[in-house]
Chains A and B, each alone.
Chain A
Amino acid sequence: MRILLIEDDPDLGPAIAKALRAENCAVDLVADGIDAQHLGDTERYDAAVLDLGLPGHDGIAILRAWREGARGLPVLILTARDGWSDKVAGFKAGADDFMTKPFRIEELMMRLRALVRRASGHAAARITCGPLVFDSQTGQFELEGLPLKLTALEWRVLSTLMLSKETVIARLDLLERVYEGDAEVDSNSLEVIIGRLRKKIGADLIETVRGRGYRVTAATPAASE
């Protein structure tokens, strides 16, 4: 899960980023409205957390520009403005959720996960694929009823695949969802992560579709090959 975090407060921004990373998210933090709009237009994110009171460029204007450019990325507004007029204006501009400061990081995380899940078309919180269960509300994986321990990178890859289970995710899309904007990416690293995941959950669940990408599937390997 890769999050675009737009927050101009020099204390709050890094604190939120740290908390989100602790929940396995890749976070790109920007404090400037113009950078934020550009990143939202060009990069692939699972969701954006948007502060409204940005210097120079208002959050609502950024959101409106994204929506006018048909950018469907789920946006959660996180602001100190707690008036209902602000909420109404935010949703009218195309926001998907709205939280006011101060807030509980757990709630932010929960709401972000719900946004991402809804954006990928799942109504229920638990997503099952064969023996593998992903609770999109808590972010926990279970394999055959037992909790599954994953590193942050493994979690990002597997959660992305699970949210689009039975669908092929292009290699590049997967890479973009997994690494933060300024990370040094080794082109082989994705294969390394997939290899480790296969060791943990069994080789059959993640299928390599040659020339296209990967998918998680409950179908038997025999049928797919």
Chain B
Amino acid sequence: MTLIPQSILPASIHGRMLLISALATLVALAVAGLAILGVLQGFVTRGLDQRLDAELSLLATAVRPDGAIDKPRLAQVRAALAGEPGWRWRIASPGGVVSSADFPEVEDGPLLPPPPPLVPAADRAPPPPVGGPLEGPRAHAPQPGEGYDADGRRVHMRSVSLPSTAGPVTLTAAAPWAMVQKPVRGALLPLLAILAILGAVLGGAALVQLRLGLRPLRRLRADVAAVRDGRAQTVAEDQPEELRPLATELNALLQDNARTLATARASAANLAHALKTPVAALALELRDDPPRAALIDRLYGTIRHHLARARNAVTERRAAAPLAETIADLLGTVAQLHADRALVFDDTAQANVTVAIERSDLEELLGNLLDNAARHAASRVAIATTAQDGTVRITVSDDGPGIPVADRLRATAPGVRLDERGDGDGFGLAIVRDLAELNGGRLLLDEAPGGGLAATVELPRAGGAS
């Protein structure tokens, strides 16, 4: 069931609730306004009816019990009734009709009450005294009626039927509808003003309520963003009652995720370990048999490639790694690995930069780049970093022979081994590219100023960089 079609419903909860509360307020105010006007009109009409009923009582004194009109009395009554313009009366007796000068046409016949049933003559009472002719057994309650005068103005009427020996005599008194309309119109302006103020107050309250009510949601979203950026491990659970289960569920989900990830990583590592040791033994066994040894090499290459991919696939995507510290650790490691060659490592990494990548992934990525550079460098490996607009650029350059332009693209394709000199396995740059892309970055290969290779990795900076 849709109360409001989807197409015009605003997309935000804020907008929806605001729209609903605005519509509800408008409807409530309209109903209240109409009701107040109705009650007011009822009051005024009742006052008018009382005056008209008094006139009817007066007119009744001019009707004799036999239905004839008491002329002298009528003259008195007429004088009393001649007052404000638009007030009119009529006496319709079986003997004829007497009325004030401009009695309006009664447009709607049925508005007048049907003639009352004839009452037996024995029951007839003497004419009622002035002020009370409409009471007593022969009287009927006056009935309301509406009509229009010659100018088309609306007229409010009261009429009553008096039984007489000659037949029913109908007395009618009329007053202009303006008597009701004027005070109601006069009340309309202040009423609208009050309703407008009320509407403004209600609207403001709805706005404040929405703001306050939705604030925990905004905070929760910020919490989730922090988890995604690696600035936090869990979302805060001190939420309002309605959001607390959501926060708890979110944390449970995060925990599940982390557990699954850890299991997947552990299995990848176990698989790697389980495969590599027998392959190593086999390779040693077959080292005097070059064709078979080559097969082992291929086997190992394939294992390594797919294990690296499997490990990459379960990489943690909301993490932060300290850049300078990671680079310092890696430089120590790479220097040791190439201890036999007196390489100079030039580290100008920026301090206090964190990268949105898991530390082991960053180590894998930069370790491969640095090792690659060290293997090809003549004497020098340089690593430099810049951080700008949420992107961290890490450039590793060497003074080796470099890679020709045509081969640079190919160099990042899996399994392509350009390196025929060193002991590289050809997967280094492909792994770097995979890891960079997996973490929302990329790998760029360029020529270093001295002619060597300059490999640049672009990675997103972690949100919580201080």
Tell me, yes or no, whether B418 is within 8 Å of chain A by CB: no
Identify which of residues 319-337 in chain B touch chain A, using a CB-to-CB cut-off of 8 Å.
Answer: 329-330, 332-333, 336-337
The reply on A30 being an interface residue by CB < 8 A is no
Question: A40-92: which have CB < 8 Å to B?
Answer: 53, 80-85, 87-88, 90-92
**Residue from the set B269, B332, B333, B363 with the largest chain A CB neighbour count within 10 Å:** B333
> A48 to B311, alpha carbons, bound, how many Å?
30
Give a binary string over B335-375; 1 marks a CB under 8 Å from any A CB, 0 the rest: 01101100000000000000000011001101110000000
Q: Determine whether A118 belongs to the interface, using a CB cutoff of 8 Å to chain B.
A: yes
Residue B284 lies at the interface, judged by CB distance under 8 Å to chain A: yes
Q: Does B317 contact A (CB under 8 A)?
A: no
Q: Is the CB of B278 within 8 A of A88?
A: no
Q: Return A118 CB to nearest CB of chain B, in Å.
A: 7
Q: How far is the CA of A60 from the CA of B337 in the complex (A)?
A: 17
Minimum distance in angstroms from B427 CB to a CB of chain A: 10
Is B283 positioned at the interface, with any CB of A under 8 Å from its CB? yes
Most chain A beta-carbon neighbours within 10 Å: one of B281, B364, B368: B281
CA A88 to CA B336, docked complex, whole Å: 10
Q: Which of A11, A97, A103 contacts B337 (CB 8 A)?
A: A97
Most buried by B among A15, A81, A98, A101: A101
Q: Which residues of A contact B280 (CB under 8 A)?
A: 12, 80, 101-103
- B67: shortest Cβ distance to chain A, in Å? 120
A105 at interface, CB cutoff 8 A: yes
**Shortest Cβ gap from A102 to chain B (Å):** 4
Q: Give residues of chain A (97-118) contacting chain B, Cβ–Cβ below 8 Å.
A: 97-98, 100-105, 107, 114, 118
Question: Which residues from A are CB-within-8-Å of B442?
Answer: none
User: Hey, which chain A residues are within 8 Å of B368, CB to CB?
Assistant: 84
Residues of A within 8 A of B272 (CB): 80-82
Residues of B contacting A83 in the complex (Cβ-Cβ under 8 angstroms) = 269, 311, 360, 363-364
| Chain A residue at minimal CB-CB distance from B278 | A11
| Candidate in B282, B284, B311, B340 with the most chain A CB atoms within 10 angstroms | B284
* Residues of the A chain whose Cβ atoms lie less than 8 Å from the Cβ of B269: 81, 83
Please indicate the chain B residues that have their CB under 8 angstroms from the CB of A90 in the complex: 333
A48–B280 Cα distance when bound, in Å, is: 18
Give the docked Cα–Cα distance between A84 and B287 (Å).
27
B351 to chain A minimum Cβ distance, whole angstroms, is 19
How far, in angstroms, from A90 to B311 measured CA to CA in the complex?
20
Q: Which of B276-295 contact A (CB under 8 A)?
A: 276-285, 287
- Give the shortest distance, in Å, between A8 (CB) and chain B (any CB): 9
Question: Given the known A-B contacts A102-B279, A102-B283, A105-B287, are A84 and B340 also in contact in the complex, defined by CB atoms under 8 Å?
Answer: no
Which B2-44 residues have a C-beta within 8 angstroms of A? none
Interchain CB contact under 8 A, B329 and A101:
no
Residues of B near A87 (CB, < 8 A) are 333, 337, 367
Q: Which of B296, B304, B363 contacts A84 (CB 8 A)?
A: B363
* Contact in complex: A11, B363 (CB < 8 Å): no
B329 pairs with A15, CB closer than 8 A? no
A16 at the interface (CB under 8 A from B): yes
Q: How far is the CA of A144 from the CA of B322 in the complex (A)?
A: 56
Contact with A along B231-275 (1 / 0, CB 8 A): 000000000000000000000000000000000000001001101
Partner of B340 from the list A80, A100, A114 (CB cut-off 8 Å) is A114
Q: What per-residue 1/0 map shows which CB atoms of B49-74 lie under 8 Å from chain A? A: 00000000000000000000000000
A105 to B273, Cβ gap below 8 A? no
Identify B336's interface contact among A82, A85, A97, A102, CB under 8 A: A97
Contact of B273 among A53, A85, A95 (CB under 8 A): A53
Is residue B87 contacting chain A, with contact meaning CB distance below 8 A?
no
The reply to whether B285 and A15 contact each other, CB–CB distance below 8 Å, is yes
**A173 interface hit (Cβ, 8 Å):** no
CB distance from A113 to the nearest CB of B (A): 10
Which residues of chain A in 162-190 are interfacial with respect to chain B, using CB atoms and an 8 Å cutoff?
none
- In the complex, whether B423 has a CB less than 8 A from a CB of chain A is yes
Q: Which residues of A pack against B, CB within 8 Å?
A: 9, 11-12, 15-16, 19, 53, 80-85, 87-88, 90-92, 95-98, 100-105, 107, 114, 118
Which 3 pairs, one residue from A and one from B, show the smallest C-beta to C-beta distance?
A84-B367, A80-B276, A102-B280
- Given contacts A84-B333, A98-B333, A104-B423, 14 further A-B pairs with CB under 8 A are A11-B278, A12-B278, A12-B284, A15-B281, A83-B311, A83-B363, A84-B368, A87-B367, A88-B333, A92-B329, A97-B339, A101-B276, A102-B296, A104-B287
